Amino acid sequence: MSKNILAFESSCDETSVALLKDFEVQKLLISSQKIHNEFGGIVPELASRIHITNINHLTDNFFQDSEIKKKNIGLVAATQGPGLIGSLLVGYNFAKSFAISLDIPFLSVNHIQSHIYSCFIGLEKIDFPFLALVVSGGHTLIYTVEDYFQHTLIGQTQDDAAGEAFDKVAKMLGLNYPGGPVIDDLAKDGDENFHEFPVSEIKGKDYDFSFSGIKTSVLYFLKKNFPINKPNEREIKNICASFQKAIVKDLFKKTFKAASQLGIKTICISGGVSANSYLRKTFTELEKNNFKILFPEKKYSTDNAAMVGYTAYLASKFSKEFKSKIKCSLFEQPFPRLDMKHKHY
């Protein structure tokens, strides 16, 4: 029998609610917080306060113009982490209270897992194994995914995440936050060979990343070449294209190396940076060499509740640990969280 799943996401600055009928998204609302633009990055305290207002409005709107009645929801799911703790607490506790008050089973969902599975939203089942590259504002991770909810971490950033580097370089160039989509746009008209920005290698760790160096090299490049006047429009476009090329080539090189060495022919790239057009083009080239390359639909690349609901669907259908009879209690942690090291958590 099909199940209506109501899902919530609030791990960073997006508040989102989604409704799925099993693996199919019926409705998705996302509210983004513009205020962080003024600061060139997320202000966690502001983010959690805005979530409090947004989540009430969003859920009200959701049910006002929705066919679905609350009593027909079979499962509630929410992002448990990793993410900004204040932001997480708002969405997670709202969702849990919603479930408790209506006596609906509740499921905690891991944010990284939901990014990974966002590549498959709309599919009833998934073919394994595949390699997953998760590239977002807080994470740069490579996993082998052997089966449902069986992941092995094989590479990660040692410092900044790729999205963080996009955001910080955008800030140096005086561009808006989040910087990734702005750089992506400007780079389309830029010369990617304008300057070669170096990306660090990690000795002995072929699948690990380091993006703090490239950030510094952009800063020194700007100080040296534009000590007084800011770069003009053309120069900004060229810097964006050169920086984007350096980051994407590095993501590609290490992911491709991992896939080749491990003999995995399917690569799924998810997280906010997976919306990047140059990245999509670069990875898609691999299809000529018999690789299968999967991305989420662009609207599912950045944080959204549809991926949370879809992960909950997969858990309820395929996870051995999921007990469909689970009743919500304030103290239970019904979903096995992956133990993932992350500095923001």
Considering only the stretches 19-27, 146-154, 174-182, 222-230, report the one whose residues sit in contact with ligand KG4 under the rule CB under 6 A: 174-182
DSSP letter (8 states) at residue 157: B
Subset of residues 244 to 303 that bind Zn ion, contact rule: CB under 5 A: 303
For the beta sheet containing 292-294, the strands, ordered from the edge strand earlier in sequence to the opposite edge, are 150-156, 140-147, 130-135, 266-270, 292-294
Please report, as a single letter, which amino acid is at residue 174. G
> Could you say which of Zn ion, ligand KG4, none residue 179 binds, taking C-beta under 5 to 8 angstroms by partner kind?
ligand KG4
Give one word for 89, left, alpha or beta, with left for phi > 0 and alpha for psi -120 to 50. alpha
Helices (H), 173-232: 179-187, 212-225
Taking the complex as a whole, how short is the minimal distance between the CB of residue 179 and ligand KG4, in angstroms? Answer: 5
* CA–CA gap between residue 21 and residue 5 (Å, rounded): 6
Q: Is 12 in the site for ligand KG4 (CB under 6 A)?
A: yes
Position among 40, 271, 296, 309 found at the interface with ligand KG4 (CB under 6 A): 271
- Measure CA 321 to chain center: 25
* Residue 256 or 300 having the CB closest to ligand KG4: 300
SS3 20: strand
* Residue 83 or 105 having the CB closest to ligand KG4: 83
Binding residues with ligand KG4: total (CB under 6 A):
19
Q: Is 166 in the site for ligand KG4 (CB under 6 A)?
A: yes
Taking the complex as a whole, how short is the minimal distance between the CB of residue 37 and ligand KG4, in angstroms? Answer: 12
* CA–CA gap between residue 287 and residue 58 (Å, rounded): 40
Taking the complex as a whole, how short is the minimal distance between the CB of residue 133 and ligand KG4, in angstroms? Answer: 13
Do the Cβ atoms of 230 and 279 come closer than 8 Å?
Answer: no
DSSP letter (8 states) at residue 321: T
Q: Is 163 in the site for ligand KG4 (CB under 6 A)?
A: yes
Taking the complex as a whole, how short is the minimal distance between the CB of residue 100 and ligand KG4, in angstroms? Answer: 27
Taking the complex as a whole, how short is the minimal distance between the CB of residue 91 and Zn ion, in angstroms? Answer: 13
CA 8 vs CA 110, 142, 345: distances in Å: 12, 25, 19
Subset of residues 131 to 190 that bind Zn ion, contact rule: CB under 5 A: 136
> Could you say which of ligand KG4, Zn ion, none residue 276 binds, taking C-beta under 5 to 8 angstroms by partner kind?
ligand KG4
Residue ranges of E strands in 114-208: 130-135, 140-147, 150-156
Do the Cβ atoms of 20 and 26 come closer than 8 Å?
Answer: yes
Q: Is 190 in the site for ligand KG4 (CB under 6 A)?
A: no
Cα angle, residue 24 at apex, residues 67 and 130 outer, rounded to 5°: 160
Q: Is 181 in the site for ligand KG4 (CB under 6 A)?
A: yes
Considering only the stretches 53-61, 89-97, 98-106, 177-185, report the one whose residues sit in contact with ligand KG4 under the rule CB under 6 A: 177-185
> Could you say which of ligand KG4, Zn ion, none residue 178 binds, taking C-beta under 5 to 8 angstroms by partner kind?
ligand KG4
Q: What DSSP assignment string belongs to 89-117? A: HHHHHHHHHHHHHHT--EEEEEHHHHHHH
Q: Is 179 in the site for ligand KG4 (CB under 6 A)?
A: yes
> Could you say which of ligand KG4, Zn ion, none residue 180 binds, taking C-beta under 5 to 8 angstroms by partner kind?
ligand KG4
* Residue 301 or 316 having the CB closest to ligand KG4: 301
Residues that bind ligand KG4 (CB under 6 A): 12, 136-138, 163, 166-167, 178-181, 184, 271-273, 275-276, 302-303
Residues that bind Zn ion (CB under 5 A): 136, 303
